[in-house]
Amino acid sequence: MAVVATRLDAHLARSPEASGFDLIPFAALVGGDFLVLDYGAGAQAEPAVSVWHHQTSDAFAPDISPVPASFVGVLCAVP
């Protein structure tokens, strides 16, 4: 599998000293945001799924919102 560096790289890491990325995008959303696997949430076996907001993320300061883990969680998050 090939990996392509992009201009988003600094926006997907929380530290310039990191050897990899904390956030791995896997699905594009409307308007330029992405669903990401969040490996920076701790030393979990499985990453959290979050939305990465492109307009409010800066280099080494990603703006993310967690995605509920279940459909019931989605329903509870709707105001």
Each residue's pLDDT tens digit, 14-60: 777 766 778 888 888 888 888 888 887 565 678 888 899 989 988 88
Cα–Cα distance list, 42 to 24, 47, 62 (Å): 15, 8, 16
Looking at residue 56, its pLDDT comes to 92
- C-beta of residue 24 within 8 angstroms of C-beta of residue 41: no
pTM for the complete prediction? 0.74
Residue 79 has pLDDT above 60, yes or no: yes
Is the pLDDT reported for residue 4 higher than 80? Answer: no
How many Å apart are CA 39 and CA 45, to the nearest integer?
9
Torsions phi, psi for 50 (to 5 deg): -140, 165
